[in-house]
Homo-oligomer: A and B are copies of this chain.
Amino acid sequence: MDPISFARGVPAPECIPVEELADCAREVIERDGATVLSYGPAGGYWPLREWIGERHGVDPGRVLVTNGSLQGMVFLADRFAGKRVIVESPTYDRPLKILAGRGVDVTAVAMDDEGLDPDALAHALQSGEKPAFVYTIPTFQNPSGRTLTPDRRRRLVELAHEHDLLVLEDDPYGLVRFEGEPPPTLFELDGGNSVIYSSSFSKTIAPGVRVGYFVLPGPLEQELEALAVSTYITPVLLGQATVFEFLRRGNLEPNLERVRSLLGTRRDAMLEALELELPFARWSHPEGGYFIWLELPAHTDAGALLERAGEAGVTFVKGADFGGASNTARLAFSFVSPDEIREGVRRLAALVAPPVPA
């Protein structure tokens, strides 16, 4: 029996525009080889910084392009080592590990179906050291798939202004929207002084190009760029220039349409399968992204379930790995086919006991 992975939060291979990227890579080397094959600016390939700057309405000097956006998080954590950072709970596990490794005091604030709870955040701000920043993934969150509502977005930005807070808006999934109107980003609501915006081309073009970026206040961009120089001298300009060529050719929107269609079908398959197989559980209903958050009956231990599920040929990540409750699980629908999704949910459901009747 082939194992079915709801654990891998990565795009299905058919999402990646291989042929087009091959041609982009060849062309940028032939056209601009002396630049992209040499040492260059630590902040990234300038034409790409300009493109990103224009998209977000900022000076390109405020854009730091890194070898994947996690690398930017490492620089930020290095910059604020030993300080306090507020995160939403559950949240993406890799930043938690990076922050912990730099002696950061992490305060986790509750979220619900509407995203980070602003009242809980306000409460956390009343006690303890002023945080260096608040880390949030407001759209199609990893791991929960939840999206912060427009009202709460406004409230969060107000809180940032009231408390002179820095907010890090991590938004890798925002453009992978299958339906519905996108809410304004925190960055747009703020005007770009209190909010750092981070994203990447991993979900919109290809993860292997390792091109992530941060839009920062100017002085902070310069501090992080100095850390970049001391880490790798120059990021991989070849990947960045390849991405820029892809964008320059106008390929982003058509590619997004293709990716949205491929992944939307998978999201639909997973929602339908859950409805059919696990009617007594709860789950998030994301309008995009990669993930669904599954809340199993209260007595279910997702860790124990995961062991049995592995034997039954289906895997996921238990919610506890992201700071979630013991009965929760992150299901990624991005990597597997709709048929595999239906079969995987069936295998999973066969292992879950319904709640005890009252």
Residue positions of A touching B, CB distance < 8 A: 10-11, 13, 16, 18-19, 21-23, 25-27, 29-30, 33-40, 67-68, 70-71, 74, 94, 97-98, 101, 206-210, 230-239, 242
Contacts and interface: CB of A to CB of B under 8 A. Distances in A.
Contacts of A19: 30, 33
Query: Chain copies in the assembly?
Result: 2
Contacts of A210: 232, 234-236
26 contacts: A13-B34, A16-B34, A16-B37, A16-B38, A18-B29, A18-B30, A18-B33, A19-B30, A21-B29, A21-B33, A22-B25, A22-B33, A26-B26, A36-B208, A38-B208, A67-B235, A70-B231, A71-B232, A98-B230, A98-B231, A208-B236, A209-B238, A210-B232, A236-B236, A238-B238, A238-B239
A53 to B, nearest CB: 22
- Name A's interface SS: helix
B232 A70 contact: yes
Given A29-B22, A30-B18, A231-B71, A39 B238 contact: no
A239 B94 CA distance: 24
Given A208-B39, A230-B101, A237-B208, A25 B29 contact: yes
